[in-house]
Amino acid sequence: RWLDERSDHGDVNATLTLLTVGLPIVLILVYALLTGVRELDVLLQESGLERFRSVLEPYVDVASVTDPSWLVDLLRGNTGRVVSVVAAASIWLVRLFVALVVAFYLLRDDRRVARWFRDVFEDTPSVVAFAESIDDDLTTIYTGNLLTLGATGLVAVATFYAFDLLAGGDLVSYPLLLGLLVGVATLVPVVGIKLVYVPYTALLLFRSLALGAVPVWVPVAFFFVTLVVVDFVPDMFIRSYLSAGTLHMGLVILSYVLGTRAFGWYGVFLGPVVLVVTVHFLREILPELVDGSAERLALE
């Protein structure tokens, strides 16, 4: 909307909006993947598991990627597995494409759709008010999700740097990158940022027990500090506060929890939709239905 107020080019505004939200997330994930592969290669070298390093060599050595022979070696004898991976990737790419197309046209034509809706239902102001209330609350909720992503990332970065400072050593590798990954992971339903800090805790535990590189209390302390400060507090309070709007904070929390249980990965988006539609139906449509029934009964 800020761009729409300053530019009349709907296509450009929608594209810039999608890039502003999506491009940083993609860059963080790509950089994290490359960093993770390099760190895994170093870990295998330190732990004496040299035989597994050959699997990572094409991804660590950029020069080898330019040689097509590594692709032939990968395909030889693994055709079925490669087909399965390609099929799964294709499904997710189609879903991503559909999501981007829908988001693009909704961003570009939102005012046009709103005008059409008001023109169609101009004789029923209650329906227009119902739709406008839903739009306002969904805007608050989904904007709150993005703000929660940023807030959780900042809390995570500060927590990891503070953990390093108080523990007296460089115990958390790449705290900035790890914190940004935690922020991105807030978009993942059900597991959320556990997708990041649980594997990292396992890595610290391996470095402690198998390599003796860090004291054994470090992974334990890291896990509980992250669980409370980075996971519980932002998810329960910051997300609900930023996303509540005119809705009860407890209902918003339940919409995320029950939505992900009912719809899986899509529940983080569909749960709030169901909540908002239900609440505003009870507030604005149901009273009119009850009044209309009462009037008909009185006339009869």
Say yes or no: 243 and 219 in one domain. yes
Say yes or no: 90 and 192 in one domain. no
Say yes or no: 78 and 160 in one domain. no
Token duo for residue 74: 């990968």
Distance CA 213, CA 205 (A): 10
- Mean pLDDT (whole number) for 150-168: 87
Task: Decide if 75 is inside a domain.
Answer: yes
Say yes or no: 96 and 134 in one domain. no
More confident residue, 240 or 51: 240
Boundary-marking domain end, from 112, 133, 165: 112
Task: Decide if 151 is inside a domain.
Answer: yes
Say yes or no: 103 and 178 in one domain. no
Say yes or no: 80 and 188 in one domain. no
Say yes or no: 188 and 263 in one domain. yes
Task: Decide if 119 is inside a domain.
Answer: no
pTM above 0.85, yes or no: no
Task: Decide if 187 is inside a domain.
Answer: yes
Say yes or no: 60 and 147 in one domain. no
Query: For position 158, what pLDDT does the model report?
Result: 92
Q: Which residues does 150 contact at the CB level (< 8 Å), separation at least 6? A: 183
Query: For position 65, what pLDDT does the model report?
Result: 46
Task: Decide if 118 is inside a domain.
Answer: no
**What percentage of the chain exceeds 70 in pLDDT?**
72
CA distances from 256 to 141, 190, 228 (A): 11, 9, 19
Distance CA 78, CA 233 (A): 45
Average pLDDT, the chain: 75
Domain that holds residue 297: 124-300
Task: Decide if 168 is inside a domain.
Answer: yes
Query: For position 145, what pLDDT does the model report?
Result: 78
Task: Decide if 117 is inside a domain.
Answer: no
**What percentage of the chain exceeds 90 in pLDDT?**
2
Boundary-marking domain end, from 78, 112, 146: 112
Residue type, 260: T
| Residue 90, pLDDT above cutoff 70 | yes
Q: Which residues does 145 contact at the CB level (< 8 Å), separation at least 6? A: 186, 187, 239, 243, 268
Query: For position 224, what pLDDT does the model report?
Result: 93
SS (H, E, C) the chain: CHHHHHCCCHHHHHHHHHHHHHHHHHHHHHHHHHHHHHHHHHHHHHCCCHHHHHHHHHHHCHHHHCCCHHHHHHHCCCHHHHHHHHHHHHHHHHHHHHHHHHHHHHHHHHHHHHHHHHHHCCCCHHHHHHHHHHHHHHHHHHHHHHHHHHHHHHHHHHHHHHHHHHHCCCCCCCHHHHHHHHHHHCCCCCCCCHHHHHHHHHHHHHHHHCCCCCCCHHHHHHHHHHHHHHHHHHHHHHHHHHHHCCCCHHHHHHHHHHHHHHHHHHHHHHHHHHHHHHHHHHHHHHHHHHHHHHHHHHHC
Residue 3's pLDDT band, with cuts at 50, 70 and 90, is low
Domain count, the chain: 2
Residue at token pair 């590594």: 70
Say yes or no: 132 and 215 in one domain. yes
| Residue 295, pLDDT above cutoff 70 | no
Residue type, 232: F
Say yes or no: 193 and 98 in one domain. no
Say yes or no: 72 and 154 in one domain. no
Q: Looking at 26-40, 126-140, 160-174, which range is the least confident one?
A: 26-40
| Residue 275, pLDDT above cutoff 80 | yes
Say yes or no: 128 and 196 in one domain. yes
- Closest C-alpha among 180, 158, 161 to residue 172: 161
The count of other CB atoms within 10 Å of the CB of residue 187 is: 16
Task: Decide if 273 is inside a domain.
Answer: yes
Boundary-marking domain end, from 112, 147, 169: 112
